[in-house]
A and B are shown apart, each in its own frame.
Chain A
């Protein structure tokens, strides 16, 4: 299978290199168009039933959501012109704008909000996100009251464009399974752009919805998203000006290359919401890693500073705990495991693993996510050399493809593994899953595959998930972070360096916490590109 994939990728990559110039002529025709290149292939466009960057980007253009967010995590009115959270935290009332229409001309009403919320609760992969929702009342067409069984402080963030697209009930409510609904590929939303063409795996075209409910928006007439399988082809197209934006760039060399290009603007703003963390995970049920001292010793040896400054060329931000840097809940006052070989050796001795005659204590394996060399493979190889300093032999186990790696890790067939996991804005959505002992679910990747279990952590996370006072909540998460960092089920390394690159001349760029996974209705050409 992987062979075929390689070949297909190669073939498609070649094809896209050669085909690019022709297509660009056809597709950039007409001023006021934005051409985006991406390697992310969406399965479909309905973010209500599908997570991930590939779907979130178009879904946020096509569907409007109750709220949107600015750069500083503040909710902004969107489909809801105002909203109130009840003092007991058990209900949220949304007052909808009255002039919002779906792309087919039908008005957006509270019925649609109620339908969408329940549909997302039933179908979205992030089960904890709306777990607290009992029902949605619709006292009038423009008021929706979301009723909760217990407070959920993450609910407002879950109303973001990427997570809560409002679907038209008259289209999606026909009883068909939402995950495979035909309208997922022919979506009807109320967002600033409507999907007019999708050539599977090649490109999709989003055109301005002229009855969008915010006057004067969107400023662009058209967005063309060109799907390229080869990152290099995408870089070249951007440098040549064939495309105007390239989101989700992670390679350090790629970022440096784009920074040097005279016609391109590069920013790492727009990923605070995603909160991508790159880390080293331990199988905490397997000897000798079941001993916290062994894990701490490895943490004291790993040397985060070197990894971030040298291996990642200073393009990544160090991460010291389970909540991504940039989140208002991030606690900095935790053990940082500054490199200390003496302490590491002492911990290993104390754990009962003295150095043997050949200078080694024990052997372990390390896995890594294939396909992300700088963030994953290189760090794994570096750790092999590094851990040898304290007498730990590390064998690097390469996985030929993602399913192989996921199979190993989710079935606990690993000692150490590198991994990249997203926070998705609020701990309830993207953090809890990694640490709750109730989420030790064999066979499911990105659950608690470390099999970490600490009753105190469970308790803190459960309390924080229903705590409505922001200060108390922050305090609970702060304690949680300190405990997890001290227990080292995971050694946190860095926030994955995600960058968006744009042609110079574009303005109104998406730098909010959700970046390009929020509506691009403010983007416009300040100085249009020369054609």
Chain B
């Protein structure tokens, strides 16, 4: 956070910033975030979901892969949300599956952002030949249909949760790269960057300490949304039969039970609803962060 203020060119009194109490812009952003109703609703929803998957296993210690009853048992006192086509507990599946799904979402989004930031930053900062090569690389990945490309990767390297996570990250970093590149290109000719360069800052310092913090806000928003996209990806891959059959996840529940939707609506509806809520919550939070992080909007209010 400290770096954020040292070099924020758009703060109202940039010269005074280093001396000001550290938390102020962050606090302002938080205040702004809490002022957006959709962001707050999304955040509450997300907290409920994360808590449910984090604490759920302690309160409801049922192995999601174990058979707890007959196949297609409707929701009842024994299995609150019923059982699936093998007799596995749907509630346990939701709790443990949520862990896998949310983890896949978060890790895949991190991978997306890591690759995207690196490629975008180098490309935008250096320009010229480096830029040309990296843009070509980005375009190459961009023209591949992401779901199909992810399917190829999973088919080639096996249906494991790690492979699936890496595959999702590997196919969805292009928009983050383009966003970062655009931000860097916009920022690199601004006066404060020139000033830092004149003061003798090296490339690494300029990229990491000067440009990156200023380019971050839109990237953070895009990272948040990337979690939602990754969750949908995981669901899509599982739906097409490319999920990891050894780890319960919401997508896997949906994909495996969809053939039996007429026999056991509960085994499809609940994980479907969970995915819907998770993605909704994440987009709402993303929206909220967008409002909070965008200084123009901040000034408007």
Q: A residues near B, CB below 8 A?
A: 2-3, 6-7, 253, 310-311, 370, 373, 377-378, 381-382, 384-386, 388, 395-398, 400-401
Could you say which of A2, A6, A7, A385 contacts B67, with CB atoms under 8 Å apart?
A385
Which of B33-41, B147-155, B226-234, B265-273 lies at the interface? B147-155
> Interface readout for B59-87 with A: 1 if CB under 8 Å, 0 if not?
00000011100110000000000000111
B242 with A310: CB separation less than 8 A: no
Given A253-B259, A253-B263, 14 more A-B residue pairs with CB atoms under 8 Å apart are A3-B148, A6-B240, A310-B70, A310-B71, A370-B241, A378-B85, A378-B86, A384-B65, A385-B86, A388-B66, A396-B245, A396-B246, A398-B241, A400-B159
Q: Which residues on the B side are within 8 Å of A6 (C-beta)?
A: 151, 240
A contact patch SS: helix
Cross-chain contact B246 with A395 (CB below 8 angstroms): yes
CA of A3 to CA of B149, assembled, Å: 9
Minimum CB–CB distance from B83 to chain A (whole Å) comes to 11
- CB of A382 within 8 A of CB of B159, answer no
Which residues on the A side are within 8 Å of B276 (C-beta)?
Answer: none
Residue in B70, B85, B159 whose Cβ sees the most chain A Cβ within 10 Å? B85
Q: List the 6 closest pairs (A to B, CB-CB), nearest first.
A: A396-B245, A400-B155, A398-B159, A385-B67, A398-B245, A385-B66
Some 9 contacts from A to B, beta carbons below 8 A apart, are A377-B245, A381-B245, A384-B246, A385-B86, A388-B66, A395-B246, A396-B246, A398-B242, A400-B155
Main secondary structure on chain B at its contact with chain A? loop
Does residue B260 face the partner (Cβ distance < 8 Å to A)?
Answer: yes
- Interface size counted on chain B using CB atoms at 8 A: 24
Q: Report B-chain residues with C-beta under 8 Å of the C-beta of A377.
A: 245
In the assembly, what is the distance between CA of A193 and CA of B15, in Å?
94
In the complex, what residues of A have CB within 8 A of residue B71's CB? 310-311
In the assembled complex, the CB of B162 is this many whole angstroms from the nearest CB of chain A, namely 14
The reply to whether A385 and B65 form a contact with Cβ atoms under 8 Å apart is: yes
Closest to B243 in A: A398
What is the CA–CA distance of A310 and B83 in the complex, to the nearest angstrom? 13
| Contact A382–B240 (Cβ < 8 Å) | no
Which chain B positions have C-beta within 8 A of A310? 70-71, 87
Q: Is the CB of A253 within 8 A of B242?
A: no
* Whole-angstrom CA separation of A486 from B159 in the bound complex: 35
How would residues 161 to 184 of chain B score, 1 for a CB under 8 Å from any chain A CB and 0 otherwise?
000000000000000000000000
Report which of A7, A373, A395, A400 forms a contact with B242, defined as CB distance below 8 A. Answer: A400
Chain A residues contacting B86 (CB-CB under 8 Å) are 311, 378, 381-382, 385
Closest CB in chain A relative to B296 CB, distance in Å = 43
Q: How many whole Å from A359's CB to the nearest CB in chain B?
A: 12
Which residues does chain B contribute within 8 Å of A370, judged by CB atoms? 241
Q: How far is the CA of A388 from the CA of B242 in the complex (A)?
A: 24
Q: Which A residues are CB-close (under 8 A) to B87?
A: 310
In the complex formed, the residue of B with least CB distance to A404 is: B155
Per-residue contact bits, chain B 186-202, to A (CB 8 Å; 1 contact, 0 not): 00000000000000000
In whole angstroms, what is the CA distance A395 to B247 when docked? 10
Q: Provide the bound-state CA to CA distance between A377 and B84, in Å.
A: 14
Q: Which residue of A lies closest to B240 (CB)?
A: A6
Q: Mark B240-260, 1 if CB is under 8 A from A, else 0.
A: 111001100000000000011
State in angstroms the CA–CA spacing of A388 and B66 once bound together. 9
Q: Are the CB atoms of A382 and B155 closer together than 8 Å?
A: no
B152 touches A3 (CB 8 A): yes
Contacts of A398 in B (CB 8 A): 159, 241-242, 245
In the complex, chain B residues whose CB is within 8 Å of the CB of A2: 151, 155
B155 and A373: CB pair below 8 A? Answer: no
